[in-house]
Structure 1
Amino acid sequence: MKNNEKNNIVIYEGAEGQPQIEVRIEGETVWLTQAQLVALFQSSKANISEHIKHIFEEGELQRVSVVRKFRITAKDGKKYNIEHYNLDLIISLGYRIKSQIATKFRIWATKRLKEYLIKGFTMDDERLKNLGGGNYWKELLDRIRDIRSSEKVLYRQVLDLYATSVDYNPKSKQSIEFFKIVQNKLHYAT
């Protein structure tokens, strides 16, 4: 997107549908000002500043990677270079700030992380259904196609299906011969 374009997205929604923050999306990341971070996490400017300072001091993130100045036109019509913070810093703040909304963020993020660790993936179903996934839709389809064509995955699916038969014995000559044939066919197909 162009530098001056903004998108309205919901980072996460509370019971009242808040907060909905107008954000800058550039370089495949989200950028928020300090004022937007204060609104997002319902915290004070001093608290946000203190946590950002600690994030850098502790080496969790490097300032050069997560802070960028954008030229903004203020209400007075003048242009100012305002610091914006990217998604990496926003997530780090969400794990440090003590507020109800930050707690909701941590619950949401932990669910996504748990889903990823257990299933190996996490998806925003509503975004994919309603927006078509944007440019990521093709990437998602390509990755699924690649995974499905993996010999190991396909071989495991055949084994799972074959193992459901009542008389399945993994050490029988018939089973061993069957899997040799399947493996040969898979090698031929790829």
Structure 2
Amino acid sequence: MVQKNNGSKRGFGRRIADGVRAASDGMRSATANALRGVADRIEVPRATFEIADIKIDFGVDAAGNTLWATQQQIADLFGRNTDTVGEHLANAYAEGEISREATTGDFPVVRIEGGREVARTIKHYNLDAILAVGSRVKSPRGTQFRQWAFRILKEYVVNGYALNEERLRNDPAAVQSLAEQVRAIRYDEKNLYARVRDCVVLVSSDYDGTSDQVRSFFARMQDKFHFAACEQTAQQILLTRADATKDRMGMTTQLNNRPTLADARIAKNYLSPEEIKLQMLAGDAFFVYVENMIARGRTATTAQLLAKIDEVFKFNEIPEFPGYVGPYIKPQVDAHVKTQYDLFRARTAQERYDDARRLPPSV
């Protein structure tokens, strides 16, 4: 969701600059902000308006029931230059048709300049302002865009997403890309086990969410999926892969450059893309089997399900989890991850401090 730049970003930058200034009196807050500008940007949902020879990505604010565009995007949309768009906006504000405060917002936009990513704060205009310009330029695209925009916003409100159906029908590669993205979301840690739980509730004849037996069932299912991906349990992954000396502590699947302790405790975050794909395939095999049982009205105990899943994995030549061997290591793993995380935090904080000290003073 698009959020207006209300100063929280600047406040964050000032707090960082204060810390840098304490370590180096010659440091300027603007320089410290620039060091972190790219990492401190806002990500917003996008929707693409594509017709004839134009293709424009607009920011979607489903909660505010609007879209956002830069002045250049509005100019491209209606086939005018930015000066003309600026004049029409000024007239719309002067005539009281729209309110400047209600229809504008400043948002960070990341651009490639000189071969590097640079974040610039650029003024954006919402759907009311875009339509006000469209009514003044009398472009036939105004009606087409309005119909598209209202459809997109309705789909976001109802579904939480919007699809470009015409493009998907005519572009097999786009369909495949979308299917892979949906599969990745489907097998996200939280979504995967929520769906496993939902299926087991429907097919298990002895399901009791409060019983130790069911909790043990889900723990074993989690390790079956991890073992299918890399032939290690969740605890073994954390013990062997959480490493303070590595970038992002060795994590590969979460996108935050400053991972939290909660991120560090999720075994799936350490799996490689290839291992994630193998885990997804194991999930597919599980869900095909269980959903077939549900469709046929069959049930099984949780113990029978575990045994059947082993058979399904064996048939599909997926590595079978052999069961737990050796001592219980969770306390040891928790302590290891916490130690590595504390070391990682100390190392990266020192690196940021060293980088800040190397910055030239402002002129």
TM-score of the superposed pair, with normalisation by structure 1: 0.51
Do the aligned partners of residues 60 and 4 (structure 1) sit closer, same or farther apart at CA in structure 2, a change above 3 Å counting?
same
Provide the rounded CA distance (Å) in 1 between the counterparts of 2:125 and 2:145: 21
Q: How does 1:1-190 map to 2 (within 5 A)?
A: 1=1, 3-10=42-49, 14=51, 16=52, 18-26=53-61, 27-76=64-113, 77-98=117-138, 102-106=139-143, 124=151, 133-136=155-158
Identity level (%): 25
Q: Are 2:68 and 2:126, in contact at CA under 8 Å, matched by a contact in 1?
A: yes
In terms of fraction of residues, the more strand-rich structure is 1
Number of matched residues?
114
Q: Are 1:66 and 1:88, in contact at CA under 8 Å, matched by a contact in 2?
A: yes
Provide the rounded CA distance (Å) in 1 between the counterparts of 2:155 and 2:144: 24
Any idea what SS the aligned residue of 2:133 has? helix
RMSD of aligned C-alpha atoms?
Answer: 3.0
Do the aligned partners of residues 57 and 73 (structure 1) sit closer, same or farther apart at CA in structure 2, a change above 3 Å counting?
same
Provide the rounded CA distance (Å) in 1 between the counterparts of 2:57 and 2:90: 24
In terms of fraction of residues, the more helix-rich structure is 2
User: What is the CA distance between 1:104 and its match in structure 2?
Assistant: 3.6
Do the aligned partners of residues 134 and 84 (structure 1) sit closer, same or farther apart at CA in structure 2, a change above 3 Å counting?
closer
Higher alpha-carbon Rg: 2
User: What is the CA distance between 1:134 and its match in structure 2?
Assistant: 4.3
Any idea what SS the aligned residue of 1:94 has? helix
Q: Which residue of 2 aligns with 1:182?
A: none
Provide the rounded CA distance (Å) in 1 between the counterparts of 2:109 and 2:156: 27
Q: Which residue of 2 aligns with 1:184?
A: none
Any idea what SS the aligned residue of 2:107 has? strand
Q: Which has the higher contact order (CA 8 A, sep 6+)?
A: 2
User: What is the CA distance between 1:87 and its match in structure 2?
Assistant: 0.3
Provide the rounded CA distance (Å) in 2 between the counterparts of 1:30 and 1:108: 11
- Which sections of structure 2, spanning at least 5 residues, go unmatched? 3-41, 160-363
Do the aligned partners of residues 107 and 69 (structure 1) sit closer, same or farther apart at CA in structure 2, a change above 3 Å counting?
closer
TM-score of the superposed pair, with normalisation by structure 2: 0.28
Provide the rounded CA distance (Å) in 1 between the counterparts of 2:156 and 2:144: 26
Do the aligned partners of residues 107 and 73 (structure 1) sit closer, same or farther apart at CA in structure 2, a change above 3 Å counting?
closer
Provide the rounded CA distance (Å) in 2 between the counterparts of 1:70 and 1:133: 24
CA displacement 1:11-44 (0-9 Å, x = unmatched): xx64x3x433111112331000011111111101
Provide the rounded CA distance (Å) in 2 between the counterparts of 1:108 and 1:39: 12
Any idea what SS the aligned residue of 1:75 has? strand
Following TM superposition, the consecutive aligned residue runs of length 4 or more in structure 1 with deviations greater than 4 angstroms are none
User: What is the CA distance between 1:91 and its match in structure 2?
Assistant: 0.8
Provide the rounded CA distance (Å) in 1 between the counterparts of 2:57 and 2:141: 19
Q: Are 2:59 and 2:68, in contact at CA under 8 Å, matched by a contact in 1?
A: yes
Provide the rounded CA distance (Å) in 1 between the counterparts of 2:99 and 2:44: 26
